[in-house]
Amino acid sequence: MIADQIVPPQRTLMGPGPSEIHPSVLAALAAPTVGHLDPYFLKIMDELQSMLRQVFQTTNPMTMAISGTGSAGMETCVVNLIEPGDRMVACINGVFGGRMAEVAERLGAEVTRIERPFGQVFTPEEIREVVNRVQPKAVGIVHAETSTGAWQPLDEVAQIVHAAGALLIVDCVTSLAGAPVEIDRLGIDAAYSGSQKCLSCPPGLAPVTFGPRALEAMDRRKHRVSSWYLDVGLLRNYWGSNRAYHHTAPINMNYALHQALRLVLQEGLPARFARHLLHHRALKAGLQAMGIQYSGDPQHCLPMLNSVLIPDGIDDMTVRSQLLNDFGIEVGGGLGPMKGKVWRIGLMGETAKKSNVLLILAALEQCLARQSRRPQPGAGIAAATDVYLQS
């Protein structure tokens, strides 16, 4: 029998996304719908673009929210900058770098894949070698690899890519609004994100930004963009001053993102970054006190996505099911070669708070005890509390 109404369970979302959502963002979703060319909605679009530029730390005019999830943002960047026969370097140290490579290959590009083990990051020397050898049109790299928790430094990478005359495409899906994404300072040519991570908005929109070199490359294209829906040449006319009809935008999702961005900027980017880092440090201290170690390079761990090794003798699904069913906590499992080996614990946006850190540490202690692995009682809570007291 079909339910009379949708009544989802109340969850504490501590997985790799979506994150928890502020009530005011959910309320924005329920605001009256207007037309996609209504003057009120056009004003919302203008303000949304302005706020996105602040969060991306850019002045790029072509900054907007693609109607689709983060994967649509990825495809938008790749299909607009890559043509058949173009050479592209795809940096793969997790699942999502591989997706950029696949999109480019489907376009008929000559893709060179450079790979690192899951959880590791690329060194400038590795990037320099492949860029000098391949002489690509573009290099795609993931800033915050959601599948592994690896945080890729970009300063030297950006310098190397630009010195070779190539475009830099960056996946900021998990990092935007949780860690610095400095588009203009680094000269990143194209970047994309998703609404459901550190922006704490429901999934459904993909913020993107294109710099001047990217727009020049689009203007020099020899072939039409393979995707009509994601063709920035057409979207420019909708998001630009012309406001020419392109598609019916998800009006209420844009309301929600508008409010989510307002909350980000009210908090302030430096304070928001510091909050994510503080709760990451507390969680890490608590987990390590319980004998749970991080899976990747300890020098390059994301604050908002904590990938930790499942202790020996502990069953992955048993613990995640108990967390969900007994405590209402969602955490993520591993992807690809990390499946069954790690838990991915998210501290994104609204989820990044002390009560959630202490809740999951207490819940995990009980889950581990049920599988005959008994941490010292309260050790995780005590270690996290020490971090909070010292902050």
Q: DSSP secondary structure string, 306-325? A: EEEEPPTT--HHHHHHHHHH
Nearest to 316 by CA among 339, 340, 295: 340
Whether 85 is covered by a domain: the verdict is yes
Q: Does 315 score more than 80 pLDDT?
A: yes
Can you give the three-state secondary structure of 79-120, one letter per residue?
HHHCCCCCEEEEEECCHHHHHHHHHHHHCCCEEEEEECCCCC
- pLDDT in the model for residue 359: 98
Evaluate whether residue 17 is within a structural domain.
no
pLDDT of residue 314: 94
Tell whether the model's pLDDT for residue 138 goes beyond 80.
yes
Q: Which residue has the tokens 């990747």?
A: 296
What pLDDT, in 10s, does the model give residues 214-243?
999 999 999 999 999 999 999 988 898 888
CA distance 141 to 18: 22
Residue 316 resides in a domain: yes
Give yes or no: residues 307 and 366 share one domain. yes
Per-residue model confidence as pLDDT tens digits over 343-387 = 999 999 999 999 999 999 999 999 999 987 777 889 999 999 999
Calpha distance 144→130 (Å, rounded): 21
Single out the residue in 198, 232, 266 at which a domain terminates. Answer: 266
Number of domains in the chain: 2
Query: Does residue 172 lie within any of the structural domains?
Result: yes
Same domain? For 276 and 357 the reply is yes
Q: Taking 80 as the threshold, does the pLDDT of residue 1 lie above it?
A: no
Q: For residue range 278-310, what is the model confidence (pLDDT) as tens digits? A: 999 999 999 999 999 999 899 999 999 999 999
CA distance 126 to 133: 11
What residues does 206 pair with on adjacent strands? 66
Report if residue 182 sits inside a domain: yes
Question: Tens digits of per-residue pLDDT, 272-281?
Answer: 999 999 999 9
The residue-averaged pLDDT of 316-335 equals 97
Q: Which pLDDT score, from 0 to 100, does residue 168 have?
A: 98
Residue 2 — very low, low, confident or very high, per pLDDT cuts 50/70/90?
Answer: confident
Contacts of 38 (CB under 8 A, 6+ apart): none
pLDDT at 250 over 90: yes
Residue 254 shares a structural domain with residue 303: no
Same domain membership, residue 298 and residue 252: no
Q: What is the pLDDT of residue 296?
A: 87
For residue 111, what is the domain's CATH number?
Answer: 3.40.640.10
- Do 257 and 298 belong together in one domain? no
Task: Residue 180: give the domain boundaries.
Answer: 22-266
Q: Is the pTM of this model over 0.85?
A: yes
Per-residue model confidence (pLDDT) at position 240: 83
Q: Which tens digits make up the pLDDT trace of 39-71?
A: 999 999 999 999 999 999 999 999 999 999 999
The answer to whether residue 82 sits within a structural domain is yes
Is 10 domain-assigned? Answer: no
Query: 179: which strand partners?
Result: 176
**For the segment 166-183, what is each residue's pLDDT rounded down to a tens digit?**
999 999 999 999 999 999
Q: Mark whether 107 and 211 lie in a shared domain.
A: yes
The whole-number pLDDT of residue 371 equals 85
Q: Which of 192, 126, 114 is nearest to 153 (CA)?
A: 126
What pLDDT, in 10s, does the model give residues 85-116?
Answer: 999 999 999 999 999 999 999 999 999 999 99
**CA–CA distances in Å: residue 305 to residues 243, 270, 290, 331, 342:** 38, 18, 19, 10, 12
Give the residue carrying structure tokens 């037309």: 35
Residues 30 and 215: beta-carbon distance below 8 Å: no
235-244 pLDDT per residue, tens: 988 898 888 8
Pairing of strands 190-192, 167-171: parallel
Assess contact for 173 and 197: CB atoms under 8 A: yes
Question: Between β-strands 150-151 and 144-145, what pairing exists: parallel, antiparallel or unpaired?
Answer: antiparallel
Predicted pLDDT at 113? 98
Q: What pLDDT score was predicted for residue 362? A: 97
Q: Given 266, 290, 318, which residue is the final one in a domain?
A: 266
In a domain, 45, yes or no: yes
Angle at 137 between CA 131 and CA 140, to 5 degrees: 70
| Residue that finishes a domain, picked among 223, 244, 266 | 266
Three-state secondary structure string covering 179-234: ECCCHHHHCCCEEECCCCCCCCCCCCEEEEEECHHHHHHHHCCCCCCCCCCCCHHH
Question: Are 187 and 233 in a shared domain?
Answer: yes
